Amino acid sequence: MYSAEELSEINQLCAGAKLMPEGDSVYIFLPALKLPKGCIPTEVDALLRLKSPLVDYPTRLFFAAIVASKNKLNWNSLNIVILQRNWFAYSWKNVAADRRPIELVAEHLRALA
Amino acid sequence: MLTHTITTNRRFVGRRDNTMSEEKIEQEIHEIQEKISKDEREIEQLEREEERLLEREHGHHEPHHEDVKITIDNKVYEVKPGEYKVTALKELAGIPAAKELEELIKGVLTPLADDATIKICGGEVFMSHARRGGSSNV
């Protein structure tokens, strides 16, 4: 589904990034993902959902904590348990999974920039 | 008297032998010094020749040494260091103008405006992505 090259590329952004499937869903775990300037915290564990039986969003970026930024976002997913951890996500639609993982992360992070 | 004369002659001969020996040694030293000087001149000439060849070799490869590597969308490009417009980098990598270019600065993805100028020193990492996402109340 995703090439070693694509995973290597996302490791440039976040060292230790790894593919983590759970059930029918596929995630990339992003440890200590550095967030755009002005965000609090400045880095947080994140989880990029690439594939899911859910049809709410084509892809989603979950965070281990709610992130404060200059933009008012709709944090509509709170304490969602995935891979035995609680996650938080804002609503950010139309990011289809037909791009490289790093592109997807960049597109989701654009909401915070 | 005879004994004295013989002794004196022996001393004289001995001194002359010593003098000759010293002259011979001096001559040998002089020859060696000349050889050293000659060798040194040859070494100097060879060093200059080596320096000239190295300069020529350096000059020949100079354009390659000047190029630096940058990464755009996981592909490596060799460019001259200096200032570049974001649009020029997009053009270099064949990225459509509609896509956003970001630079990975200290692990943080930093969006770049199309009219921004980026200083390339080598080692910069860029990636592009389509501006597609948007907030919703879903």
ipTM of the complex: 0.78
**CA nearest neighbour of B75 among A109, A33, A100:** A100
Mean pLDDT of A104-108: 93
| Mean predicted confidence (pLDDT) in A15-26 | 92
- Nearest residue in chain B measured CA to CA from A102: B127
Structure tokens at A4: 């070693």
- Pairs of residues, one from chain A and one from chain B, whose beta carbons lie less than 8 Å apart: 80
Query: Quick check: A76 and B128 CB within 8 A?
Result: no
Let me know how many helices (H) and strands (E) chain B has, helices first. Answer: 2, 8
For chain B, give every domain's residue range.
Answer: 1-65, 67-129
Does the structural domain B67-129 have CATH classification 3.40.50.1110? no
A98 touches A107 (CB < 8 A): no
- The rounded radius of gyration (Å) of the Cα atoms in chain B is 39
> Which amino acid is present at B54?
L
> How confident is the model at residue B101, as a pLDDT?
94
Residue A41: asked if its preceding bond is cis (omega within 30°), the reply is yes
Note whether A108 and A57 are within 8 A (CB).
Answer: no
Percent of chain A scoring above 70 in pLDDT = 99
Could B108 and A106 be called an inter-chain contact, meaning their C-beta atoms sit closer than 8 Å?
no
Do the Cβ atoms of B135 and B98 come closer than 8 Å?
no
Instruction: Tell me which residue of B70, B73, B77, B69 sits closest to B100, measured CA to CA.
Output: B73
Q: What is the pTM of this model?
A: 0.67
φ, ψ of residue A34 to 5 degrees: the values are -80, 130
- Chain A residue at shortest CA distance from B135: A92
Mean pLDDT of chain A: 91
Q: What is the pLDDT of residue A109?
A: 93
CA distance A92 to B113: 22
pLDDT at B17: 62
Q: Are B133 and B124 in contact (CB under 8 A)?
A: no
Contacts of B133 in chain A (CB under 8 A): 92-95, 107-108, 110-111
A14/B107 CB distance under 8 A:
yes
Q: Using a CB-CB distance cutoff of 8 angstroms, which residues of chain B are in contact with residue A57?
A: 138
The least confident of A11-15, A34-38, B10-14 is: B10-14
pLDDT tens string for chain B (138 positions)?
545 555 555 555 555 566 668 888 878 876 776 677 567 656 765 765 677 677 767 665 555 558 999 999 989 999 999 999 999 999 999 999 889 999 998 889 899 999 999 999 999 999 998 877 777 654
The per-residue pLDDT for B138 is 43
Instruction: Look at strands B68-72 and B125-129 and give their pairing.
Output: parallel
